[in-house]
Homo-oligomer: A and B are copies of this chain.
Amino acid sequence: MSEPASALRNDTFLRACLRESTDYTPLWLMRQAGRYLPEYRATRARAGSFMGLATNPAFATEVTLQPLERWPLDAAILFSDILTVPDAMGLGLSFETGEGPRFAQPVRDEAAVARLAVPDLERLRYVFDAVRSIRTALAGRVPLIGFSGSPWTLACYMVEGAGSDDYRLVKSMLYARPDLMHRILDINAQAVAAYLNAQIDAGAQAVMVFDSWGGVLADAAFRTFSLAYTRRVVQQLKRHAEGRRVPCIVFTKGGGGWLEQIADADTGAGADVVGLDWTTDLGGARRRIDDRVALQGNLDPAVLFAPPEVVAAEARAVVESFGAPKRPDGRFGGHVFNLGHGISQHTPAEHVAALVEAVHGHSRHLRNAT
């Protein structure tokens, strides 16, 4: 480890994840190191491709720190992709210009499923090297978040071979051959757990599971094919490192209706923090789960297209919707401010300044006023 835990100078994010008292509401932004930043685009141009960027620890470190140079964000997130694990399984990940991710070898029949195996973590060494490099570069400024796609979300891409608007292939397999789907998910859960634990070993101080496509499932199918496998991942995670708890965040896009199930201690994800997209009322969500987990979210990323004063007003509304972390009974709720989805490449970077200032300033103000 490059830094002892005691050297972490801003642990506001970790404290909010664990529902401890904080001076203000911490924030970070999903995809904060990304195409909306000209300095990111410059580094990517040097790297030649997205995977060239992600597989080179020096480049990954450079772009991970770029947004932190601009704004006092409260966490860094490893620059990588949610699909590194199936790439390491040999499916051949690539990113074509203007397109999303694509697998050269999608998993569409019994033979392809039979060939799947938990990958040798050595093939993902570039990720762990990046984690170590970023920790060194951060030098204790803020915590570093590691991440992976959820077993179900990985399966969507593995079967479809790319993004989809109807998930026809993966859902056909799910309904017609649930045995094959369960085998894929079982392997994915083992692989993701090992992968996240290796990130923790390398220095990740929190981990996040992106269930980006959980929300496309039917209600009953979500529990069986997404939540159950996310839970398996979380249950296998190392939850302590460097003398601190390593919080785990689970984000199911489109999963607001399932919040109670995701947050349930006995049958839910088992996460410390549940991420919400912008369609869910944050204050209502907090009441529904009664602060049994912390919540992360949930400004509509499209708000950042509006003028800075609108951005600030909408950000304050999210902070107020959650309300004071301290409850009348003396316990604390936890709120990590974030967008409800990744920041858009079309975001004017200067609007982020208004966001950060509003969240930090208004949450401090509310704590002092109450």
Query: B-contacting residues of A (Cβ < 8 Å)?
Result: 166-168, 171-172, 174-176, 215-222, 254, 256-257, 278-281, 284, 299-303, 305-307, 310, 314, 317, 340, 344, 346
- Taking the nearest CB of chain B, how far is it from the CB of A356, in angstroms? 18
Evaluate contact between A278 and B218: CB separation under 8 angstroms: yes
Which residues of B have CB within 8 Å of A217?
Answer: 279, 300
Q: Is the interface of A mostly helix, strand, loop or mixed?
A: helix
Evaluate contact between A305 and B172: CB separation under 8 angstroms: yes
A-B CB proximity, top 9 nearest:
A175-B306, A171-B302, A172-B305, A218-B300, A219-B281, A218-B278, A176-B306, A256-B257, A257-B257
A166 partner, pick from B171, B218, B222, B344, beta carbons under 8 A: B344
Evaluate contact between A168 and B300: CB separation under 8 angstroms: no
Q: How far is the CA of A217 from the CA of B303 in the complex (A)?
A: 11
- Would you list 7 pairs from A and B whose C-beta atoms are within 8 A, ordered by A residue? A171-B305, A172-B305, A175-B310, A217-B279, A218-B303, A254-B279, A257-B279
Q: How far is the CA of A172 from the CA of B301 in the complex (A)?
A: 10
Q: How far is the CA of A280 from the CA of B254 in the complex (A)?
A: 11
Contacts known (A279-B222, A317-B220); A176 close to B215, Cβ less than 8 A: no
A346 partner, pick from B168, B174, B220, B279, beta carbons under 8 A: B168
A215 to B, closest residue via Cβ: B279
A317 to B, closest residue via Cβ: B220
Contacts known (A168-B344, A346-B168); A280 close to B257, Cβ less than 8 A: yes
Which residues of B have CB within 8 Å of A301?
Answer: 166
A302 partner, pick from B172, B302, B317, B346, beta carbons under 8 A: B172
Kindly name the residue among A174, A284, A302, A305 whose own CB sees the greatest number of chain B CB atoms within 10 A.
A302
Evaluate contact between A310 and B176: CB separation under 8 angstroms: yes
Which residues of B have CB within 8 Å of A346?
Answer: 166, 168
Which residues of B have CB within 8 Å of A299?
Answer: 218
Evaluate contact between B279 and A167: CB separation under 8 angstroms: no
Evaluate contact between B176 and A302: CB separation under 8 angstroms: no
